[in-house]
Structure 1
Amino acid sequence: MTQPALTASTPASAPAAVPYPARWTALIALLVAEAMNLLDATVVQVAGPVIHADLGGPAAAIPWYSAAYTLTFALGLLTAARLGDIAGRRRVFRIGVAAFALTSLACALAPGGGVLIGLRAAQGLAAALIIPQTFGLIRAMFDGDELPRALGAIGPVMGLSAVLGPVLGGILTHADLLGTSWRAVFLVNLPLAAAVLLLARHLREDRAPVRPRLDPVGTVLAMAGTALLVCPLAAGTGAPGGAAWAAAGLGALVLAGFVVHQRRAAAAGRTPLVEPSLLRGRAFPAALATSTLFFAVMNGVMITVVLQLELGLDRGPLAAGLTLLPWSAGLAVGSWAAGSRFVPRHGGARVLCAGLVALAAGLAAAALAYRAAPTGHYPLGLPFALALAGLGVGLFTAPFFTLALRPVSDQEAGSAAGLLNAVQQLGGTLGVAVIGGIYLTTTSPHQALATSAALLALTAPAARAMLARPRTPTAK
């Protein structure tokens, strides 16, 4: 699952310049684009084993039908946000939607697994052009009491997309409409993208009042370092080998060079890709670690369930989609309850911690359900365990971004939100590829769930460091 990329922007002119009905029509275009991105990530997870059966190739390629998309999406977020600042968010948004439609069509026509993975990477880059623009465009069109109403519409849309994604993937693949089989999960993007482009004419153009410049050196360093760090660890199945760890170490060095470059760029008065001040304290780096670990667990559990049902039990994509429905429903309910009731009453920190506990309990219940099921039989307790785990995910994600951005200044907000969403996508990529790879190697959901539980255990101290408020000096 993917969250919208938050961007801080100052409208170039007053939001009142857009007529009242047109503002809400334009909002529909932005919401459909957000939903399209999330749907595309989840429907392909369910369709992955069917794609593999049709196109052939190694089983290790199955997680990469999803991971290639989320990886390039993450790599492109920060630069795409800058492009919106420079060239105009409306323009970049429309280019991204058109590119997303074209790459979706190309994915539907892919003749082989390797080609599809490459096209999914291109599709992820197109999505990266779309998502960072949405918050800035909303802020440009709405103000006063309308702004929170417009922003508040995103949560229910994302929750509904999370519920419908796995089920839609299962239904479209199982229905085999006109013989399209899995290709329908990409073709469905074409009418959605056409509707977005039609409604997008009501968007008003918006860009940063002081246009920043691109940071090509920083962009190359960030992309190269991240790719070296993530891809070797996620490319194989089972435990990474020595070459993978060496490449990951090189990636860490490149990212360290990226941090140095960003500090020098800021000191020289140039526009850095990421505000270096974000990494000076403890809270925001801890938020980045929390996001990476948590979303690795979330996406890893989902791909494990899908692979075990479709490959291990030969139940097909429809059964996988319906099994994930309680997870998605629990996520939607938890997100709604946290935002409307629990966070205002108990505070975001307590609700976030309750989400971690509920997710841990759901993982334990899922492990028990798998253990209780006879070999070759459907684990009857799994939907109930997934509902509990999904509830935990919803409780966690509702307050997470607000708490993570709490120590961030207005000047840092856009860079911080883009970076936070980027590492979320990277975490999801690692979860799908590594945890999914562990299942493909061991064919044991217990091993995959044990890895997920270990990563969740590491999430707790990272979240605690994120929530710790800096001490203020006492007056003498």
Structure 2
Amino acid sequence: MDTDVTNAAPVAAETGKRASYRLRWIGLAVVMGADIMDLLDATIVNVAGPGIRDALGGNSTHLQWFSAAYTLAFAMFLITGARLGDILGRRRMFLMGVTAFTVTSALCGLAQSPEMLIGARGLQGLAAAMMVPQALGLIRDMFDESEVGAAFAVFGPSMGLAAVLGPILGGVVMDADLFGLGWRAVFMVNVPLGLFALAAGARVVPRPEPSTTTRRPGLDLVGVVLVTAAMMLLVYPLVQGREEGWPAWTFVCLAASLPVLALFAWYEVRTTRAGRDALVEVSLFANRAFTGALAVGLMMFASMIGLMLVLGVYLQIGLDWSATHAALALIPWSLGSTVGAGLAGAVLAAKYGRRVLHAGLVVGLLGVLGTAATITMHDGPVNTWILLPATAVAGFGFGLLMAPFFGIALAGVADHEVGSASGVLNAVQQLAGALGVALFGTLFFTHVEDNVPAAHTLDAVRGVFDDAFTVGALGSAAALAIAWGLAFLMPRFERPPGAEGAAGH
């Protein structure tokens, strides 16, 4: 089967515009399928984690690392993966990433200890960093200007729906015990999906049009090392410090992350001025609207992803619910998020712009506080029906703010900066997830471990877990409140239709 985009060259020559690739919608489905695999695996452990820990052994720090190892590795190498797509070709990197993701998913499913699973999850995050950044560029390659907006309109909501369905599927797969695999099915299900995506992608994802004029960019290895080191110095002590008793090295690492990040920024500026290829467009960081969007994204995604981990752990460990029961309790959240995103994307965002983002932050904050109040004030253990109103409100708020966020964040950048800006935004999203898991997970488990030994009845133990969830929820709400204030730095409206943009995960 011919998968070369040059088969549209005659049409392009006649019209003066690049024509769409003839198998574009099938190609879009393949690219979306691979990205959906990533999103499911990024969120599925929020519910499956407690069951995995029970089966493999380990402690609460291991449970945090089951999620953080993936998101941290993904964040550290996402920009590098995007740059390698420019150097080696997006199609090649996409297929290599799908292959690596399939293999590392099998490694996760075969893990025999918590440490082996954490290592495999880190490798899986690296594979995702090879695969995911290519999606947006491939979509732009396959569709012409008249259809690319419709393609992104399909791509964005599908990614959002996959993100909210991940925890639900994690619970169902855990308890279904598919083929007797138990928790391993959570990861093994990716193997046939990955093989199908690889076979289909090799046939329908187009080869790039040969270019004799465009110089391939180089890879900024020093920049890669510096940004990777800064992220590790920030996240590792936050997750590991509690188990180690917060020794001096944890605070030294946290303090060192800032000068290393500053060194990265200085080196990128110097590299750009010398006419060499930098890892990111340094002009982005002189743009107040874009840096404001990065700060909002950091707070917003840390709040969302960290809270999902805390809620999943609370329901299963604190209330002794099964994974499926916990997953069902998240359905109102997912439905609320879907309705909010659909309403914002179809009706509100284009008309009201940044005000929709502000409204979503307020509604989400109220939903988070409402969930905490419901758990704290209810006499006895809560159930799914009691949690439904508050979790549905929280989900609706998060859906409202997710739909317009990336479009508004990219509205203030120049056209030639959009690709780099998209990569930085996605990297910050993944870093925020790792930080949220580290920070709010640490708040939750610290409260539990400090207070459970003094609780001598089941009601007292449940009360400790209730309070621990409230502590985590208050941290999440504080992050949303900060994001609300920072959002005033962002542009008022999204990029106009037809402009290059990106959808985040």
TM-score (norm 2): 0.86
Deviation at 1:17, TM superposition (A): 6.9
* Residue 293 of structure 2 is aligned to residue 293 of structure 1: no
Alpha carbons 1:265, 1:272 under 8 Å: kept: yes
The aligned length equals: 456
Given the alignment, which residue of 446, 450, 466 partners 2:474? Answer: 450
Change (3 A) 1:351 1:235: same
Alpha carbons 2:287, 2:413 under 8 Å: kept: no
User: For the residues of structure 2 that align with 1:194 and 1:37, how far apart are their CA atoms?
Assistant: 14
- Matching of residues 14-29 of structure 1 within 5 Å: 20=22, 22-29=23-30
User: For the residues of structure 1 that align with 2:220 and 2:21, how far apart are their CA atoms?
Assistant: 36
Given the alignment, which residue of 408, 417, 427 partners 1:412? Answer: 417
- Matching of residues 106-125 of structure 1 within 5 Å: 106-125=107-126
Unpaired runs of 5+ residues, structure 1, are: 1-11, 470-476
Q: Which amino acid aligns with 1:206?
A: P
Alpha carbons 1:70, 1:124 under 8 Å: kept: yes
Alpha carbons 2:411, 2:491 under 8 Å: kept: no
Deviation at 1:205, TM superposition (A): 2.4
Change (3 A) 1:405 1:144: closer
Map of 1:199 onto structure 2: 200
* Residue 253 of structure 2 is aligned to residue 251 of structure 1: no
Unpaired runs of 5+ residues, structure 2, are: 1-7, 449-467, 494-505
1:68-91 residue CA offsets vs partner (Å, 9 max, x unmatched): 101111111111111100111000
Map of 1:227 onto structure 2: 232
SS in structure 1 of the partner of residue 257 of structure 2: helix
Deviation at 1:323, TM superposition (A): 1.0
Map of 2:462 onto structure 1: none
SS in structure 2 of the partner of residue 51 of structure 1: helix
SS in structure 2 of the partner of residue 211 of structure 1: coil
Change (3 A) 1:16 1:409: closer
The alignment-based identity, stated in percent, is 46
User: For the residues of structure 1 that align with 2:335 and 2:349, how far apart are their CA atoms?
Assistant: 19
User: For the residues of structure 1 that align with 2:208 and 2:268, how far apart are their CA atoms?
Assistant: 26
User: For the residues of structure 2 that align with 1:468 and 1:17, how far apart are their CA atoms?
Assistant: 33
Q: Which amino acid aligns with 2:208?
A: D
1:427-449 residue CA offsets vs partner (Å, 9 max, x unmatched): 11111122122212213111111
Deviation at 1:43, TM superposition (A): 1.4
Alpha carbons 1:162, 1:332 under 8 Å: kept: no
* Residue 179 of structure 2 is aligned to residue 178 of structure 1: yes
Q: Which amino acid aligns with 2:410?
A: L
Mean alpha-carbon deviation: is it higher for 368-377 or for 53-62?
368-377
- Matching of residues 352-371 of structure 1 within 5 Å: 352-371=357-376
* Residue 398 of structure 2 is aligned to residue 393 of structure 1: yes
Map of 2:143 onto structure 1: 142
SS in structure 2 of the partner of residue 236 of structure 1: helix
- Matching of residues 21-100 of structure 1 within 5 Å: 22-100=23-101
Deviation at 1:354, TM superposition (A): 0.5
* Residue 278 of structure 2 is aligned to residue 272 of structure 1: yes
User: For the residues of structure 2 that align with 1:244 and 1:34, how far apart are their CA atoms?
Assistant: 34
* Residue 325 of structure 2 is aligned to residue 329 of structure 1: no
Deviation at 1:100, TM superposition (A): 0.3
Q: Which amino acid aligns with 1:300?
A: G
Given the alignment, which residue of 485, 489, 497 partners 1:461? Answer: 485
Q: Which amino acid aligns with 2:253?
A: A
1:107-165 residue CA offsets vs partner (Å, 9 max, x unmatched): 00000001100110000000011111011111111113221111111123123313432
User: For the residues of structure 1 that align with 2:341 and 2:442, how far apart are their CA atoms?
Assistant: 29
SS in structure 2 of the partner of residue 153 of structure 1: helix
Alpha carbons 1:136, 1:206 under 8 Å: kept: no
Given the alignment, which residue of 374, 378, 386 partners 2:383? Answer: 378
Change (3 A) 1:463 1:36: same
User: For the residues of structure 2 that align with 1:116 and 1:452, how far apart are their CA atoms?
Assistant: 27
User: For the residues of structure 2 that align with 1:277 and 1:16, how far apart are their CA atoms?
Assistant: 29
* Residue 84 of structure 2 is aligned to residue 103 of structure 1: no
Alpha carbons 1:46, 1:170 under 8 Å: kept: yes
